[in-house]
């Protein structure tokens, strides 16, 4: 007799099925799936669709439905509701006239930003009572679950985690800026001194209601950072975006920038600004793809080099 397949339901012990169903009941209640999601009138599916639209470019309805596993008719009704609220617009796809590219409007981003912030806050509230080792254990357990249930889609390398700063992180930020910019661009130690001053000012004058820092970890090692600081009541400033070489090519620079934009929108800022240099092509590409506009360009001599400083702005 041919042995039963390992994927047959008959081979799964009843105790395992009961345990999984019990966890599903526990977790869906903890994260509020059984009530209007995140305190809004939207369903979990609505918010998931909004998330994809806010974080992906050049997206068609066909791709969105496929990636989320949604019935085409069901997705179409969600998109029509979004259009009726003026959250969504459709643009002709240059490669296929039969397809439209979905794009959130300014109103759509404004609707999504507080939901994303509320989701972060609720996740942080779940984790906050746990000591740091337990938080790390839980994160690793979640990655294990994802890998076991869908090994082809789950990452085979350690996942990137974004977290709040901890003691020692600010020194790391200064060190990485000094080392990376010296090695890759030949900048001298005056740049490291500039970064040290910015970091010191952030720590000294930190306004938790209006400012934020994210540290990125890959396999429990620090690989990146970014800051949002309050420039005025209506203007937020993005500062000190940096990635170590091993973290490049993972989309992490865009992810960190998206976090800054969503945070600034959720706090009611009207504009985000940043200062960079014309030689930093990768960073400039990240900003441009997210709608930042170059508004000022000025040559100067600094950090031992002749450079061109640039000011970029994004209307929120």
On whether residue 140 sits in a domain, the answer given is no
Instruction: Tally the residues of the chain.
Output: 316
pLDDT band per the 50, 70, 90 thresholds, residue 135: confident
pLDDT band per the 50, 70, 90 thresholds, residue 152: low
On whether residue 189 sits in a domain, the answer given is yes
Q: Return the CATH number at 259.
A: 3.40.630.30
Q: Is the dihedral of CA 227, 121, 255, 133 positive or negative?
A: positive
Q: What is the rounded CA–CA span in Å between residue 141 and residue 163?
A: 17
Helix (H, G, I), strand (E, B) or coil at 103: strand
Q: Based on the domain organization, do 72 and 196 belong to the same domain?
A: no
Q: What is the rounded CA–CA span in Å between residue 78 and residue 209?
A: 33
Q: Based on the domain organization, do 226 and 275 belong to the same domain?
A: yes
On whether residue 54 sits in a domain, the answer given is yes
Q: Residue 40 above 80 pLDDT?
A: no
pLDDT band per the 50, 70, 90 thresholds, residue 201: very high
Mean pLDDT of 206-217: 95
pTM of the model: 0.56
On whether residue 57 sits in a domain, the answer given is yes
Q: Is the dihedral of CA 118, 119, 124, 126 positive or negative?
A: positive
On whether residue 191 sits in a domain, the answer given is yes
Helix (H, G, I), strand (E, B) or coil at 143: helix
CB-based contact 215:242 (threshold 8 Å): no
| Phi, then psi, of 214 in degrees rounded to 5 | -115, 135
On whether residue 134 sits in a domain, the answer given is no
Please tell me the predicted confidence (pLDDT) of residue 3.
40
Domain interval for residue 260: 164-315
State the DSSP code for 34: T
What is the count of structural domains for the chain?
2
């Amino acid at each position: 007799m041919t042995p039963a397949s390992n994927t047959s339901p008959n081979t799964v012990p009843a105790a395992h099925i009961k345990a999984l169903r019990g966890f599903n009941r526990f977790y869906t209640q903890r994260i509020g799936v059984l009530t209007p999601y995140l305190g809004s009138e939207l369903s979990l599916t609505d918010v998931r669709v909004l998330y994809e639209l806010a974080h992906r470019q050049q997206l068609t309805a066909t791709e969105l439905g496929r990636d989320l596993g949604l019935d085409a008719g069901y997705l179409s009704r969600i998109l029509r509701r979004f259009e009726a609220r003026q959250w969504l617009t459709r643009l002709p796809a240059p490669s296929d006239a039969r397809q439209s590219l979905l794009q959130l409007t300014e109103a759509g981003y404004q609707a999504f930003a507080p939901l994303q912030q509320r989701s972060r806050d609720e996740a942080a509230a779940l984790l906050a009572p746990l000591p740091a080792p337990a938080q790390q254990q839980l994160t690793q357990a979640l990655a294990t679950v994802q890998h076991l249930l869908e090994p082809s889609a789950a990452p085979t390398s350690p996942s990137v985690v974004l977290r709040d700063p901890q003691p020692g992180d600010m020194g790391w930020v200064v060190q990485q800026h000094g080392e990376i910019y010296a090695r890759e661009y030949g900048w001298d130690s005056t740049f490291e001194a500039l970064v040290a001053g910015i970091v010191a000012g952030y720590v000294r004058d930190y306004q938790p209601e209006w400012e934020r820092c994210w540290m990125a970890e890959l396999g429990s090692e620090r690989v990146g950072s970014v800051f949002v600081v309050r420039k005025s009541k209506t203007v937020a400033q993005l500062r000190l975006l940096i990635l170590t070489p091993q973290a490049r090519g993972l989309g992490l620079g865009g992810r960190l920038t998206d976090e800054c934009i969503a945070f600034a929108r959720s706090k009611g800022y009207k504009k985000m600004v940043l200062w960079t240099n014309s030689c930093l092509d990768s960073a400039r590409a990240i900003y441009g793809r997210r709608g930042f506009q170059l508004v000022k360009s000025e040559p100067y001599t600094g950090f031992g080099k002749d450079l061109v400083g640039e000011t970029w702005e994004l209307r929120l």
